[in-house]
A and B are shown apart, each in its own frame.
Chain A
Amino acid sequence: MRNLGNRRGRTGSGPQVGEARSHTRVEAPLSFRASHIPLYLALITGAIVSATPFLFMMSTSLMTLGETINRRLLPDVPQWANYVEAWSNASFDLYFRNSVILSVVTIAGVLITCTLAGYAFARISFPGRNVIFTILLSTLMIPGTVTFIPQFLLVRGDIIPWGNWIDTLPALTVPFLSTAFIIFLFRQFFAEIPSELWDAARLDGAGHWRFLAQVVLPMSRPVLTTGALLTFVNTWNEFLWPLLITYTAKWRPLGVGLYTFISEAGPETHLLMAGSVITIVPVLIVYFFTQKQFTEGIATSGLKG
């Protein structure tokens, strides 16, 4: 795990230029000193606060109903059957499949549209470029509570007569197929690619499309991964929009499914926690394997933003 992380190395901060920037990683950690004890105590307190809800969730999800009301920290015998029961009580298999499909479609769309836009904004100069970029970026300041009402009419086909998308896949994905934040993230990365590479490619007779496909994309794996991860987490965790536009379970994602399950589960905390585990675990797995890329991507984009 550790080696894997190191091999992936630094990410997000641009190719080649990134080396000097990440001071933290270049220097080896200090060896332990007595003066570090208060620092560790503070960090451990924080870590306990961060992690307790997860531990509570895991442990409770494996208890019997009796154990959940008896001040128990851990179950006597782990009740793995709880997961089966939660899974079959609510149609988690359907919700799970829906969430996976939604995530894959959205990630694919975002990667395509935002790579193209990010590249053009970074490396092609055309009239109106900065104006368009600024206007697109301004959407980052617009709260979702303002946009969801007209968006609802849009996907219902009230404004543009393209038919009613409610309860279909397009309604859940099309509005999210491009986001200003990811464009911004990609543009930062592409802008730092040395222009010598472009000059060389042009001498070989390559245009922008070929340069993008054959030179830029292969060296952009880290930032593309970061973009995909951010999109995955956002799609997986989206709630208001799918709640609004899924009337049936057909395309209902996990978050909304879990919400309906919560409303029905009542006092059966162990099943509720089992349902929460089912919803959280995919994100946690993805996060554990990519956390370096993830946090560093967020850090650099936030820093430049």
Chain B
Amino acid sequence: MLKSAPPPRNIRPRRRFKSEWITGYLMVLPSTILISLFGLFPIGYAIYMSVHRWRIRKGGFIGLDNYEKVLGSWMGALAFFGGLMLILVGHWLWTTAFRGHSDWRRWARLGGALTLLSAGISIALGWGAMTEAGEARFLNGIIRTTYYGFISVPTQIILALIIASLLFQRLRGSETFRMLFFLPYVTPAVAGAAVFGALFSPRDERPINTLLSWLGIPPQDWLFEPDPVLELIINSVLVRWANFTGNEPIEVALSGFWAGPSLALITIIIFGIWTYTGYNAVIFLAGLANIPKDLYEAAEIDGAGQRQRFMHITVPLLSPVTFYLTVLGFIGTFQAFTHLYVMRVPATRDAVDTASVVIFDTFYKRNDFSLAASQSIVLFVIILILTLFNQRILGGRGR
């Protein structure tokens, strides 16, 4: 992921000892110690903690008990994580395998499609088995984290790309716009969350509900609404239909993964998008400035329209930036904590408790250090798999 500047030119391989080395080691020593101690060592130590009984003080060795408690069933977990890996295999078969062999390619695609299908089944069955016996609070947290990441990151990236290409038009005042768009990123999350809490207050007279009333939509409970958005929309349509036909309104109640996020979580997702879109736009803007101008000129001479130039020059040449922002976005959203913690209200119980909030509670409120450590390791593994996905699926397109 990290391409770095070229190394200095004066490297000669295989040299004898130089006093310069000492200077080098001395200079990197403070950072190396600090980062190893507070950044790297904790990973290993979290694993060590997760296999011991550990409530405030260390207890005896308990092996993988914690993981069993969290994941529920080993077979389920195996099917789930194996299914995730199968997606990669399926994607590889579909796109890259036997490239250039046209007759084999068709079979590879068929195999790829079948692999993806079985991956989906395996993930669903595995997850089902896990939720039956596993720690419901944490597993539900993973589902909410997934909603959060998979709604927030693509929205941020698409909006940011649009904003960046608008800002790139050399309009008057674009510096001012850039400054405004970036503003949310530097705002302390606690304060920002407090402001959003007031903006999206369930009271009728508050700004967002006032806005809804202008549009003829009844006021919503926002952060206080634990029901899925989908359910709210379907029910409001059903009520209107009932009013129209004069029958009793029917009410539906959705649950499970496909019911989607609660309105409370969506409100928090809106806050996340508000915070990070400008940051992404600034990085996209720098990426746009790096695309050679003559490419566009050449394309224009060849008769490519504005849209074609955008799709065939801008998007592919920006794909390393997109990749970087996606990886960063998923790492960020999967560990998002502050605004979730500040904006959650007791009324919604655990409706917005993502995995990281659950981990914090397990540690801070339940004082079960080893269970929290094992939960954090599970979350870490999921983030690693996601990064791998990004690399294979998004990163591969740029090459």
Contacts and interface: CB of A to CB of B under 8 A. Distances in A.
Interface of A: 5, 21-24, 27-32, 36, 39-40, 42-43, 46-47, 49-54, 56-57, 60, 69-71, 112-114, 116-117, 119-127, 129-130, 132-133, 135-154, 158-159, 174-180, 183-184, 187-188, 191-192, 195, 207-209, 233, 236-237, 239-240, 244, 254-256, 258-259, 262, 269, 272-273, 275-277, 279-280, 283-284, 287-288, 291, 294-296, 298-300, 302-305
B150 interface: no
Contacts of A236: 188
B196 interface: yes
B198 A113 contact: no
A33 B283 CA distance: 27
A261 B324 CA distance: 37
B32 A136 contact: yes
25 contacts: A22-B289, A30-B171, A36-B169, A36-B171, A53-B192, A54-B195, A56-B207, A117-B30, A122-B8, A136-B35, A138-B40, A139-B35, A147-B39, A147-B42, A150-B45, A154-B37, A174-B34, A177-B30, A178-B30, A188-B5, A208-B23, A208-B27, A239-B190, A273-B198, A276-B191
A299 B286 contact: yes
Nearest to B6: A191
B8 A191 contact: yes
Given A46-B163, A145-B337, A150 B49 contact: yes
Interface string B178-193: 1111111011111110
Given A39-B166, A305-B324, A145 B203 contact: no
Contacts of A146: 42-43, 46, 376-377, 379-380
A43 B285 contact: no
A128 to B, nearest CB: 9
Contacts of B335: 143-145
Given A239-B189, A283-B186, A273 B181 contact: no
Given A144-B335, A178-B30, A122 B5 contact: yes
Contacts of A240: 337-338, 341, 360
Contact of A151 (B4, B30, B42, B274): B42
Interface string B368-386: 0100110011011001000
Interface string B282-314: 110111011001000000000000000000000
Nearest to B286: A299
Interface in B138-183: 162-163, 166-175, 177-183
Q: Chain A's interface: helix, strand, loop or mixed, by majority?
A: helix
Interface string B1-29: 11111111111000000101101111110
Contacts of A24: 168, 170, 285, 289
Interface of B: 1-11, 18, 20-21, 23-28, 30-32, 34-35, 37-43, 45-46, 49, 58, 162-163, 166-175, 177-184, 186-192, 194-199, 201, 203, 205, 207, 210, 274, 278-279, 282-283, 285-287, 289-290, 293, 321, 324-325, 327, 331, 334-335, 337-338, 341-342, 355-356, 359-360, 363-364, 369, 372-373, 376-377, 379-380, 383, 387
Interface majority SS (helix, strand, loop, mixed), chain B: helix
Given A24-B168, A276-B192, 19 more contacts: A24-B170, A29-B172, A43-B166, A132-B32, A136-B32, A150-B45, A150-B49, A154-B38, A159-B45, A187-B4, A209-B23, A233-B186, A240-B338, A256-B190, A279-B191, A283-B187, A284-B186, A305-B2, A305-B324
By Cβ-Cβ distance, the 3 closest A-B pairs, closest first, are A299-B286, A126-B24, A120-B27
Nearest to B271: A53
A56 B194 CA distance: 12
Nearest to A298: B282
B290 A273 contact: no
